[in-house]
Structure 1
Amino acid sequence: MNDQHMARACADAMWAEDLATQRLGMVLDSVGPGAAVLSMEITPAMVNGHGTAHGGYIFALADSAFAFACNTHDQRTVGQQASITYLAPAFAGDRLTATATERARQTRSGLYDVTVTNQNGTHIAEFRGHSRTVKGRLLGN
């Protein structure tokens, strides 16, 4: 199986079990080795008291993109640490896209950056996740 097919198979296996990502209305737009793109519409229920998207929903989108990107190598991988910097507000009706990219992967540790933008290309947030592989494979090999 080539790397692209493995990444897709791993994403499909994860998606089948990831009810949180599904229930928030996220869509897996694309996946590749060490990369993933997910999108989500901000609903009125996701808006805080300031009239902007609650940061937790933006973080959840970025975190899901991170999760899909770091699990493309058929090694079960979890988040070890993550941080986010919010750069601009998002609003109800906005469609946010989180683009995750693998920056480094050595032994059991990985480093991933995720850029979150809205439908106009406005830079909403930057997320950095540190991953750690654990026992097991997604494809049951």
Structure 2
Amino acid sequence: MAEMSPQQLAEACADAMFARDTASRELGMTLTAVTPGQATLTMTITAAMIQGHGSCHGGYLFTLADSAFAFACNTYDLATVGAGCSIDYLRGAREGDRLTAQAVERSRGNRTGVYDVTLTNQHGETIALFRGKSYQVRGHVIQPEQAP
């Protein structure tokens, strides 16, 4: 693989992951920004995501935050998975809301990291706060056939 800047590497990792990430794509998520240790995804709440109280099911909010976390912690071409996470739901999201999940690296060690994800709606209101702990496993994000 040709020598890349940290930003180029982060973008190549995000492209490789998104191409394989059927779940995020099928839910209508869009990767809008990526830098080393950070990622931003958006998703519009659809009717299929609404639960019995008329707001977005928390599992979809969690999935959006978890996807942003995954993209952020895999920007170094070192395969990394979630080791644990938690989410605090602060307000409901409604059908048609456009949510943004911004993941930010807080700590990164030899094999572990901590990432915070903030979910906001189109009005800038915070919907949920997510914290993920990552663990680096063997392998790389960019497969040889995907190398630029």
**Which bin holds the TM-score, normalised by the shorter protein?**
over 0.9
> Given the two structures, how large is their TM-score scaled by the length of structure 1?
0.98
Match among 2, 14, 17 for residue 14 of structure 1 = 17
Stretches of structure 1 that go unaligned for 5 or more consecutive residues are: none
Tell me the residue number matched to 1:100.
103
Alignment partner of 2:72: what SS? helix
CA–CA distance in 2 between the matches of 1:25 and 1:90?
16
Residue 63 of structure 1 deviates from its aligned partner by 0.2
CA–CA distance in 2 between the matches of 1:16 and 1:140?
12
> Given the two structures, how large is their TM-score scaled by the length of structure 2?
0.94
CA–CA distance in 1 between the matches of 2:112 and 2:72?
13
- Deviation above 4 Å: which 4+ runs of structure 1? none
Q: Which residues of 2 match residues 19-98 of structure 1 at below 5 A? A: 19-98=22-101
User: What is the CA RMSD across the aligned residues, in angstroms?
Assistant: 0.7
CA–CA distance in 2 between the matches of 1:139 and 1:27?
19
Tell me the residue number matched to 1:134.
137
Stretches of structure 2 that go unaligned for 5 or more consecutive residues are: none
CA–CA distance in 1 between the matches of 2:108 and 2:89?
25
CA–CA distance in 1 between the matches of 2:14 and 2:142?
10
What percentage of aligned pairs have identical amino acids?
59
CA–CA distance in 2 between the matches of 1:96 and 1:11?
19
State the one-letter code of the partner of 2:112.
Answer: S
CA–CA distance in 1 between the matches of 2:143 and 2:21?
17
Q: How many pairs are equivalent? A: 141
